[in-house]
Amino acid sequence: MKLSRAMELKGEIKVPGDKSISHRSIMLGAIAEGDTVIRGFLKSADCNSTIKAFKAMGIEIEEEEDKIIVHGKGLHGLRAPASYLDCGNSGTTIRILSGLLSGQPFESVLTGDSSIQKRPMRRVIEPLQQMGAKIESMKGNGSAPLAVHPSSLKGMNLKTKVASAQVKSAILMAGLYADGPVSVREPILSRNHTEIMLKSFGAKISLGTVDDPTTVLEPGNALEAREINVPGDISSAAYFIAAGLITPDSEIMLRNVGINSTRDGILRVLKEMGADISLFDIKETAGEKCADLLIKTSHLKAANIGGEIIPSLIDELPLLAVIATQAEGTTVIKDAAELKVKESDRIALTVNGLKAMGADVTAADDGMIINGPTPLHHAKIATMKDHRIAMSFSIASLINQDVQSVEILDSGSVGISYPMFYRDLDSLK
């Protein structure tokens, strides 16, 4: 994709449904009793990997224009898949399914694309094994493919080493099949969509808090299907928030964006940087808050981004680095070593891409240091098929100082989380 400089961005966007919530709506819908109707579902490659996996386990899923209907078969209604389950590029699918499958009375194998096969899976394998699961990395390297054998799961108190919602959710899904209560204590509270949805489906669960990030699930009762309205994904909205802030004379309205407090770190940091972001029409459906966001071009100053806030903006850090190139002063991003084990090494790709565009940026072991403001220039950007890198640099290209355009390699990866990204971006020009 070749992108050139934009003069001003004006308009309104309804960002697509939240990816994390969309995955969970299929997963919990499949093991609930009755039909779960999902509106606002994110139709993207990652969520499709989850749909395909559940279809392969005998779940009927109707995909209509405006809604998805999952015909749930209850906690014990999944059947053995005929072949391995291909999770594609989706870390959420493979990690949460590893927990759910640990509780099933059949054999299964989980795998995915070349990026997934490099990602760390010991973080789910180890706690699940502690619960009694028979799960292993088939190549013995701590990554996929993963083989899951039938086992009996024990209730227990677990502590996770990383603040990861995928790990926490894998444990909770296994916990639904355990012989007693399961508690998960995280170092910092991570996104809590699984817990919120489990609660709304009738599970006995108490949610962790910022002060006490411990989630407790008592297994035993059936889940009941219910309607789900998926809010817009703040991680997708973030690209247009950034676009509106750094492109001169811009004003963008983003409708129905999820602002769950475990996900809104980007808003908190940007406000501290001086961003003009207003929230309207704040409402809540089934425990998930959302709002309309109005973004106006802003003069930004640098920020220190680290510690407790990191899990709530982890996917937005490459984009925050792009924004920081336009902010006055030195922005430090730290405590974010997790960026190295996402769909790509996001520290390396962000730093290399920004340097190629002329920014003053240095890589650190757990983050980046960015001195701004600096003009950005045209370049060819390697993305390693990472959707968030492709979208972050598409936003950087809006302020390219040159006549020549910025070339984003492998930009088709935006289909992982935001298939209509370039159409929506064009609609603002």
Q: Provide the binding-site residues for ligand S3P, judged by CB under 6 A.
A: 20, 92, 164-166, 169, 190-191, 314-315
Q: Distance between CA atoms of 13 and 3, rounded to whole angstroms?
A: 20
- At closest approach, how far in Å is the CB of 238 from ligand S3P? 12
Question: Residue 400's beta-bridge partner residues?
Answer: 376
Task: Considering the complex, state which of residue 182 and residue 339 has its C-beta at the smaller distance from ligand S3P.
Answer: 339
Spot the catalytic one: 315, 360, 366, 402. Answer: 315
Q: In terms of CB distance, is 238 or 428 closer to ligand S3P?
A: 238
The reply to whether 315 belongs to the active site is: yes
Give dist(CA 245, CA 297) in Å, integer.
4
Cα–Cα distance, 312 to 118 (Å, whole number): 24
Distance CA 251, CA 274 (A): 16
18 and 287 Cβ atoms separated by less than 8 Å: no
Tokens representing 219? 């297994």
Q: Do 66 and 140 contact (CB within 8 A), yes or no?
A: no
- Least distance to ligand S3P, CB of residue 169, Å: 6
C-beta of 216 vs 310, nearer to ligand S3P = 310
Dist CA 74 CA 79 (whole Å): 11
Q: How far is the CB of 144 from ligand S3P (least distance, A)?
A: 14
Alpha carbon 314 to chain centroid, angstroms: 9
CA distance 237 to 218: 35
CB of 283 to ligand S3P, least distance (A): 22
With respect to ligand S3P, which residue has the nearer C-beta, 31 or 313?
313
CA-to-CA distance for 194 and 340, rounded, in angstroms?
24
Least distance (Å) between residue 271 CB and ligand S3P:
22
Nearer to ligand S3P, 102 or 166 (CB): 166
User: Side chain identity at 257, as an amino acid letter?
Assistant: V
Tokens of 229: 């309205």
* Residues catalogued as catalytic: 315
